Chains A and B, each alone.
Chain A
Amino acid sequence: MESKFTEAYQKKSEDCYDTECEKVAHILDSLVDGEASSDEQEFFNKHIESCVPCLESHQKQKLLKNLVCGHLKRVIVPETLALSIKTKIQETV
């Protein structure tokens, strides 16, 4: 039983999706991270010509990424840190 399940699962993860939308959901992160292959990108571009929900979920995913990279404040490095690293290194060598 279990092996049958695993088989089916693995088959699915090898580019075998029930619907096009399912495939889009699977490559959504790669698309927003610029990690999608040109085939994937092309497939997506074609698909969204006729699928508004997938276009929207892509936009949402992009928005989420932008929230983190655009709004998360960077913490300021303590001024003394660089110096104390150098000092420590000289002490231990």
Chain B
Amino acid sequence: MSEQTGKQMSKEEKDARFEAELLPVLDPLYNFAYRLTLDEDDANDLVQETYLKAYRFFDYFEQGTNAKAWLFRILKNSFINEFRKKSKQPAKVDYSEVEGYYNTEDVEGESGVATTTDMRTESVQDLIGDEVASALNALPVDFRTVIILCDLEGFTYEEMAKILDIPIGTVRSRLHRARNSLKEKLEKYAKSMGYNGE
């Protein structure tokens, strides 16, 4: 379909550049997809769709610019525009609601003791990782997103604004609210583990 005008690359060139510049982002991109969808198969589909789109629009990508941010933006848009609508499975659990129930009932009291005894079998590192993951997963997707982009992937506020298509001021305030919310969830856990936050 594409006309071969003077400036355009040959298919071989395009494929080679695509592989060299975009495929190395696969790992962070898949992780981002997984944190958005909380499902491995969905993450798989979302990443594939993102790369297909990226290939289709590769001519618009300026070589040497931020490939990672570009792909993250495509993925985020795919997630919002199509993916959420497409996966209309009503059975999908709204994690924030479920977590809410557990948090109110189960945080204090016996559960604290139960988790400390588990430390013998599981490494403490794993335990903390799991707890951070479940606190993060319990956040609304917009909050989860800014934390992943900022803390896990190390994007700057400016890059985040571009990826999410929102003003930098909104990035700041969303990140602030997201962290407050995450802090609240983790503090409950810290208390159950015997930390006082001192």
Residues of A that sit less than 8 Å from B by CB:
28-30, 33, 35, 60-61, 64-65, 67-69, 71-75, 77-78, 81-82, 84-86, 88-89, 92-93
* Chain B contact patch, size range: 35 or more
- Give Cα distance in the complex from A74 to B128, angstroms: 14
Main SS class of interface, A: helix
Main SS class of interface, B: helix
Let me know if A64 and B183 touch, CB within 8 A.
Answer: yes
- Give Cα distance in the complex from A93 to B51, angstroms: 13
Let me know if A68 and B52 touch, CB within 8 A.
Answer: no
Q: How far is the CB of B142 from chain A (nearest CB, A)?
A: 16
Task: Choose from B23, B55, B126, B179 the contact partner of A64 (Cβ within 8 Å).
Answer: B179
Q: Select from chain B the residue with minimum beta-carbon distance to A85.
A: B51
Contacts of A71 in B (CB 8 A): 125, 128-129, 132
Task: List, sorted by A's number, 30 A–B pairs whose CB atoms are closer than 8 Å.
Answer: A28-B176, A29-B172, A29-B176, A30-B157, A33-B175, A35-B157, A60-B183, A60-B197, A64-B182, A67-B132, A69-B152, A69-B154, A71-B129, A71-B132, A72-B136, A73-B130, A73-B133, A75-B30, A75-B31, A75-B34, A77-B26, A81-B30, A81-B44, A81-B48, A84-B48, A85-B48, A86-B19, A88-B52, A89-B52, A89-B55
